[in-house]
Amino acid sequence: MKKEIIEWIKSIGIALILGFIITSFIGGTKVHGSSMNPTLNQGDILVMFNSKKISNGDIVIINTDLEITPQDLEGLNPISKWKVGNTKKLVKRVIATEGDNLVIEKGKVFLNGYELKEDYIKGNETFGDLRIEKIPEDKIFVMGDNRGNSFDSRSKELGLVDVDDVRGKAIIRIYPFLKFGIAK
């Protein structure tokens, strides 16, 4: 009996330690909206790696100061209504990182003097003209893949994102099951 209790305590302890480790390095999020179409869709569930090591092209989840409004929750289940007033988390693609030169003009994106080949975007143009000589230290520039319908760093309300506001990088789409795989 004593041996059984010790085994139970060991098992519970190991489970708690593993749970802590997993939740410290791995998290999850659900995609809301269409700003990342066609790469990600409304309702996709992603596994993210909690990391601040970010590269161009990564899909990241960022914290914002923007409040969730009732309009943001239209079409979602009634249980989601409690989220009104909380702050939004956005899923976006990293286009430029610290030290990069970024130019958007005539519907094209240029990074450090070279046109980006963006076969992942919806449509073939990026709207809005912009010129950033050098992305400041600890900042990133993010955009959605649905460039015509994305609230991103092109907006003055969001602008450049602090690296500290990055919750993590999307690594795997786990739902819908038919699209299970690496988030890229």
Q: What CATH number is attached to the domain comprising 77? A: 2.10.109.10
Residue 13 maps to a domain: no
Distance between CA atoms of residues 56 and 96, nearest Å: 6
Peptide bond into 176 cis (omega under 30): yes
Cα Rg of the chain, angstroms: 20
Could you tell me which of 35, 169, 48, 40 has the C-alpha nearest to residue 97? 169
Q: Is 92 a catalytic residue?
A: yes
Task: Say if residues 101 and 132 touch (Cβ distance below 8 Å).
Answer: yes
Instruction: Work out the average pLDDT over 118-136.
Output: 86
**Is 127 exposed, middle or buried (CB count within 10 Å of its CB: 0-12, 13-18, 19+)?**
exposed
- Domain assignment present for 135: yes
Catalytic residue among 2, 10, 34, 35: 35
Domain count, the chain: 1
Confidence grade of residue 102 (pLDDT, cut at 50, 70, 90): very high
More confident call, 169 vs 76: 169
Which residue, 106, 147, 142, 103, is CA-closest to 123? 147
In the residue annotation, 35 being an active-site residue is answered as: yes
Query: Which structural domain range is residue 121 located in?
Result: 26-182
- Residue 24 — very low, low, confident or very high, per pLDDT cuts 50/70/90? low
Per-residue pLDDT for 35 more than 90?
Answer: no
The pLDDT, as a whole number, for residue 79 is 47
Q: Looking at this protein, which amino acid is placed at residue 16?
A: L
Q: Is 9 a member of any domain?
A: no
Q: Is the pLDDT of residue 168 over 70?
A: yes
Please tell me which residue, 124 or 40, carries the higher pLDDT value: 40
The answer to whether residue 7 sits within a structural domain is: no
Please work out, in degrees rounded to the nearest 5, the angle formed at the alpha carbon of residue 76 by the alpha carbons of 71 and 82: 75
Dist CA 184 CA 168 (whole Å): 14
| Residue of 11, 80, 83, 92 with catalytic role | 92
Q: What is the mean pLDDT of residues 16-23?
A: 70
Residue 85 covered by a domain: yes
User: Residue 71: which pLDDT band, with cuts at 50, 70 and 90?
Assistant: low
State mean pLDDT over 79-92: 65
